[in-house]
A and B are shown apart, each in its own frame.
Chain A
């Protein structure tokens, strides 16, 4: 409907407007630019070698470790931490808790960019990325594959996030009619989006169900899908707190006074939500542990490492959230949020890389090239984020 309704001179106007908006604003020499530009350039050079000489030329992937840092960190962790978008959509549109409306747009934008860049980083890892259309165009549907589900839900959910964010784009481009139409789609998109999220967040966990003999029994259980889903809720909430803390400092000039003021209240609410879901998650872990009679496994380095994750990065931040919310200690909440984010990262690395093939003598460590490319993906995402928030009304101006 959009192109048909817009006359050609409108397209010309938008073209000029877009080119104008593309121009950089503000200072060029900032600490972030100085660090990120060389890293991005180096990342592009590495990617050139990756696509001409194979994955082995830049990564430490092996026959024992087919999934490395790009999958384990970029895709699996990136998607889990982008869970804030569907959680907040649920809170604002389904539960109608208006208090959180002020941070909704920026959370959806974060989610959208995370899906585009982090699940997009999958393309870098695929051996034959030009065949990525095969599961989409339908010449070979692997219906019985969990990955088929995950791939489709990634794609559809990225589309849903784009639709959820699209009214802001229409507003920026001064397409008022289109904006009204897109806004009217929001509730439907949100409901579809939450459903898609539930399925692909748990689907990423379900990918490891068939790796039963390879994952250390402390990390393997038939409930991995449930654990992945629940951890994406509090991981997403912690990420919203973490990002909100940074944004409110870096982009303070873009945020309205009222929003700035109510931000404390929002953080208390998010912290409370995180504390509750983390406790539920801890309960699930304990239940799985008891039910599987895994006491004996706790003896030895793998058992201690498991306790570090479960006590140090789930239970302790859970109590810190609860304490921080009760006593309005924002510093405690922020530290808890960072620990929670680290905990989700740790959990995904454990399942995917560290406790995967735990009995193999040659363990996998990411190469420096893999880390540089990951940083490249993160930095490019931050660049796009910065470009969008300085041009569109993402932050609440009230």
Chain B
């Protein structure tokens, strides 16, 4: 298993570890619930160095990323970030990712840890421009600072500007605690926050600079367990469970990230065909009506008919009930509709709710 450059830091903090996408990552330091609530009420510090970063440079860079993305990279100006999908020719999702535009001939792609090799091969194999693609994943440490206090905590370390001036989905290249850092106003928690990209050999220095301020603010280091419940409450999909190569953006509720007008991209034809023919599946949010927890893969029934399955499910520490995403074949299903979820051979009641959950 791969380890991030901060592995020893997590060990020292007594983290419990788990395997995730080929990486040995902290799943929790104290308790998932405590960590989750810290991010909702104060602040949390995450090591996300398992994520992949590719630099794409050259005159063909814009053309290459446009060709691969379902969302319109042409909308980006310098210093902006875009959430997008890569689809295959059949419209199946290859990955979901962020695209950072430095200039129109310099982009950074941030991809899921489990997909780094697949995505790199995908980008390389579709590159018929002069753009140079560099996998910087091993040279990059990504630390996220998320929560309502994240602005106040980060500001003293960034003398050059007030970080609250960095708008959502924008980034600057600056310094945090004297360390050259890409400061990005992004996150996967539904809270105000930042994602900080630094050279791998500066990762520990950045963590050690921020950590005391996080603890001082009654924040916590956050493992992947709370990262999962935070993103679920915020209605954010996870690649590999809520979407994969067998699902299209329309089926998983990501149609707003497909921009097909006046542009070409891989998968466009198949997606337009699916839209014309009608989309058979859709992703909905549900809430359990008893205390049982529905997890990935559990069957969903409506009026006795099997209509789909759970893709993500967990207790929601903020709502104090159990929630999840399901992919279903019913097009008519709507908010407040009752469903039943089969958990260990018994049916448990649930209802459809709006996403995001919080």
Q: Do A and B come from one complex?
A: no
Give A contacts to B, CB under 8 Å: none
Give B contacts to A, CB under 8 Å: none
